[in-house]
Chains A and B, each alone.
Chain A
Amino acid sequence: MKISITRKQYITLASVLFMIAVWKLVSMHFRSDFILPPPEKALLTTFNLFIDKGFLAITGSTILRGTTGFMLSMILGIGAGIIAGVNRDFDAFIRPVIVTLRSVPVISFILLALIWLSPDTVPVFVAMLTMFPFICTNVTDGIKSVDHDLVEMAVFYRVKKSKIVREVYIPAIMPFIISGASSAMGIGWRAIIIGEVLSQPKYGIGTVMQNAQTFLNVDAVIAWTIIAVIVSYLFEKVIRWSERKLITWRS
């Protein structure tokens, strides 16, 4: 296979190099690891974290929280989204709930959850509340967008209702579920980490970031940030991959 680099990829690379150069220049100006360590030091710290024995427990806990919150919001979001898509009354009922969830600052959920829940569940709860609206509204939009002519065709041919749901509705809303999942994930990871910073569970990326900040280990804060970005990126890849697997019919 021939690997060719497009013009766009060159520009992307240039952009990344530019950001690192700015980082390097700023760090050279301050000349203090307590303010901003140089990029090579932060990258070395990141690399060392990967081989640190606590790495798996810390990152694993955060991932577990993320996926749990994500699953819960998927179940609730798809369920509520389908009902809202087929029932106008429920749609009107759930809409204010979603608008409220969307406009409440994430930090308010966290502060309240800290009072109500254990440190381990706070981030999950917060992630679930922030992800739910995205999935729910996308599923509702998906159901509303189902081509009425196709449903009519199926009804005219006397196709069974359960088959119409399985083979007309579900494939039609699948792209909406995936794009909802993708935006939910993007927001969800951030919510999880903020939740961990404040609730301080035993293991978690947010927990170690907060500790590093307390001791002015700026390189560790940056290193964990890089890891958080990688985790988020990998999950985005998983979603894109499942999109290709599930939606094979699009060119």
Chain B
Amino acid sequence: MSLEIKNLYKSFGQLTLFSDFSTELHENTITCILGPSGCGKTTLLNIIGGVIKPDAGELTGFSEKKISYIFQDPRLLPWKTAAENIGFVLDDSMATEERNKYIDTFINLVELNGFADYYPHALSGGMRQRVSIARAFAFRSDIIVMDEPFKGLDVKLKTNLIRTISSVWIRDKRTVVFVTHDVDEALLLGNDIVVLSQPPATILCKVKIDIQVSERNSVNTELESFKQQLLSALGNK
């Protein structure tokens, strides 16, 4: 079963972000929503997450779904260690030992072995974002929502984090909705890419990429043709 957004309407005062907008999100897929800043991407995520109510419209398949978030900034509690930050969002019912093991698994998955007991201030920006990725995957959710998680990071760090996310994602292939304004990020991580226009949002183009994340690089010709397709949809050369 897939997740559907049907005839969505949402305005903030004079600004109409969505007017009769519909799209479909495939489960167990990384869907990337690509669009210029201010096109309502974050609002769409918040509507999916149930944090903002739409003015009208129907969301099917989302009710009762648990959602994890990866934000642009890591949003870690400064008074909790990396492991405690992950533990913070977990259900308290798990036995301590089992819980610690479970947390450790995710610490290792994001390649932070040995940093479990570090406080955020002692970690680099990239490492902090890794903790927030581990937190999102450790939380037993049905959907992971990512709002520009690589904004402001350099290309090398960005590529590393994308590889990490992809390697953690492979384990259970959870449904991911990933929002960005950066074409290269979309190409590196997305399975389905949906390009949104300036508000009110319409879908300018849809792309499906079946290449393994580890094989996506700048010399891949297939990826290059997708890139041209996305850029022209966004109106860039």
Q: Which residues of A contact B (CB under 8 A)?
A: 149-150, 152-154, 156-159, 163, 167-168, 171-172, 247, 249-251
**A247-B79, A249-B78 known; A159 and B71 CB under 8 Å?**
no
Q: Chain A contacts of B49 at CB under 8 A?
A: 156
Interface contact B77-A167, CB-CB below 8 Å: yes
**A153-B69, A157-B69 known; A171 and B121 CB under 8 Å?**
no
Top 10 A-B pairs, shortest CB-CB distance: A157-B89, A249-B79, A171-B79, A153-B75, A249-B119, A156-B69, A149-B75, A251-B121, A150-B75, A249-B78
CA–CA, A131 to B55, complex, Å? 50
Interface contact A156-B73, CB-CB below 8 Å: no
Flag whether B209 is at the interface (Cβ < 8 A): no
Nearest Cβ on chain A to B31's Cβ, whole angstroms: 19
CA–CA, A247 to B79, complex, Å? 8
Q: Which of B77, B79, B92, B119 has the most CB of A within 10 A?
A: B79
Q: Chain A contacts of B80 at CB under 8 A?
A: 167, 249
Flag whether B139 is at the interface (Cβ < 8 A): yes
Interface contact B73-A159, CB-CB below 8 Å: no
CA–CA, A167 to B66, complex, Å? 22
A-B contact pairs, 7 of them (CB 8 A): A149-B73, A149-B75, A154-B89, A156-B51, A167-B80, A168-B77, A171-B79
**A157-B89, A159-B89 known; A171 and B68 CB under 8 Å?**
no
Flag whether B231 is at the interface (Cβ < 8 A): no
Which range holds the interface residue count of chain B?
20 to 34
Nearest Cβ on chain A to B128's Cβ, whole angstroms: 13
Number of A-B contacts (CB under 8 A): 43
Interface contact A149-B79, CB-CB below 8 Å: no
CA–CA, A157 to B66, complex, Å? 8
CA–CA, A157 to B122, complex, Å? 24
Flag whether B207 is at the interface (Cβ < 8 A): no
Flag whether B3 is at the interface (Cβ < 8 A): no
Closest to B135 in A: A157
Interface contact B77-A250, CB-CB below 8 Å: no
Q: Which residues of B contact A (CB under 8 A)?
A: 49, 51, 66-69, 71, 73, 75, 77-80, 88-89, 92, 119, 121-122, 139
CA–CA, A183 to B115, complex, Å? 37
Interface contact A158-B66, CB-CB below 8 Å: yes
**A153-B71, A167-B77, A171-B77 known; A250 and B121 CB under 8 Å?**
yes
Q: CB < 8 Å: which of A159, A172, A249 contacts B88?
A: A159
**A156-B49, A157-B69 known; A167 and B88 CB under 8 Å?**
yes
CA–CA, A247 to B78, complex, Å? 10
CA–CA, A185 to B10, complex, Å? 54
Q: Chain B contacts of A172 at CB under 8 A?
A: 79
Q: Chain B contacts of A250 at CB under 8 A?
A: 78, 121
CA–CA, A250 to B49, complex, Å? 33
CA–CA, A66 to B71, complex, Å? 48
Nearest Cβ on chain A to B53's Cβ, whole angstroms: 15
Interface contact B67-A156, CB-CB below 8 Å: yes
**A167-B88, A249-B119 known; A157 and B77 CB under 8 Å?**
no
Q: 8 other contacts beyond A149-B75, A249-B79, with CB at 8 A cut-off?
A: A153-B71, A157-B88, A159-B88, A163-B92, A249-B80, A249-B121, A250-B78, A251-B119
Q: CB < 8 Å: which of A150, A152, A156, A251 contacts B77?
A: A150
Nearest Cβ on chain A to B70's Cβ, whole angstroms: 10
Q: Which of B51, B67, B78 has the most CB of A within 10 A?
A: B78
Interface contact A157-B68, CB-CB below 8 Å: yes
CA–CA, A50 to B121, complex, Å? 46
